[in-house]
Amino acid sequence: MANRHLEPDTPELRARWSSFAWTEENRTKADKFIASYPEGRQKSAVMPLLDLAQRQVGTETDTQGWLPLPVMEYVAQYLDMPIIRVVEVATFYFMYNLVPVGKFHVQVCGTTPCMLRGSDDIIAACKKRGMEKGTVSADGLWTLTEVECMGNCATAPMVQINDGNYEDLTVERLDAVLDALAAGGQPSEGTQEPGRHTSEPSGGPTTLKDMVSENHDYRGEWA
């Protein structure tokens, strides 16, 4: 993660983003976030507002979105808080992108359970498709990031692409998902293993088997 850095403050960046302002819809959302905190504590809304801003940037650029410095300044001004405090928050959390990303931000989990289940192959497959860590691919579609545990260890390995998780991946399944995305489709999220619904044991339940079909009362069977 050490390669996280802020996009340099250049005249081009200023020219592109200085005029950033909430859309009508997002302004309503932002004010609602602020209103959920007590009077005078509007700063507490910095995280949802940064996320909202990132999404708005994403909509404007047809990507997942990121946070240019002028946009952070806009959020700071909107919340009447020092800009450095906003940048502290934005640089702390990995969910805020500090540099431009592609239309699909492919975040591959590389932590132990995923690694044991083959995340190295997943990363290799991504790279084979032309993705590179931390940069936008030539067609503007992909950005690859290796991230730490996303909490889907039971269905490892997994990737998170923008707001959706794709789990139980193999190289083929990943390719299918990515192909569908590239073609403008919306592949179903969650586990990609046929017959599996969520994170239940693969191959069917091993305990409470009678609960599968009905709300079985086990109490009579207690010895």
Which amino acid is located at 62 in the chain? D
User: What is d(CA 81, CA 5) in angstroms, rounded to the nearest whole number?
Assistant: 22
149 is known to lie in a ligand binding site:
yes
Record the tokens describing residue 143, joined without a space: 């950005």
Q: Which of residues 1-30 bind other proteins (CB under 8 A)?
A: 1-2, 4, 6, 9
* Count of residues touching other proteins (by CB under 8 A): 14
Cα within 13 Å of Cα(189), Cβ side: 8
CA separation for the pair 178, 139 (Å, rounded): 14
Stretch that binds other proteins, among 81-89, 144-152, 168-176, 208-216 (CB under 8 A): 81-89
Structure tokens at 135: 């940069």
Q: Is 134 left (phi over 0), alpha (psi -120 to 50) or beta?
A: left
- Segment near other proteins (CB under 8 A), from 54-62, 85-93, 144-152, 200-208? 85-93
Least separation, in Å, of the C-beta of 32 and other proteins?
26
- Going by their DSSP bridges, the two strands 104-109 and 142-147 should be labelled as parallel
* Shortest Cβ 92–other proteins spacing (Å): 5
Residue 212: exposure state from Cβ atoms within 10 A (0-12, 13-18, ≥19): exposed
Site string for other proteins, 45-74 (x = CB under 8 A): ------------------------x-----
Q: Which of 11, 38, 80, 84 binds other proteins (CB under 8 A)?
A: 84
Is 153 annotated as contributing to ligand binding? yes
Does the CA dihedral 153-156-161-166 come out positive or negative?
negative
Query: Residue 111 Cβ, how far from other proteins at the closest point, in Å?
Result: 15
By CB under 8 A, the residues from 86 to 105 that bind other proteins are: 87-88, 91-92
State the residues that interact with other proteins by CB under 8 A. 1-2, 4, 6, 9, 69, 82-85, 87-88, 91-92
Binding residues for [2Fe-2S] cluster: 109, 114, 149, 153
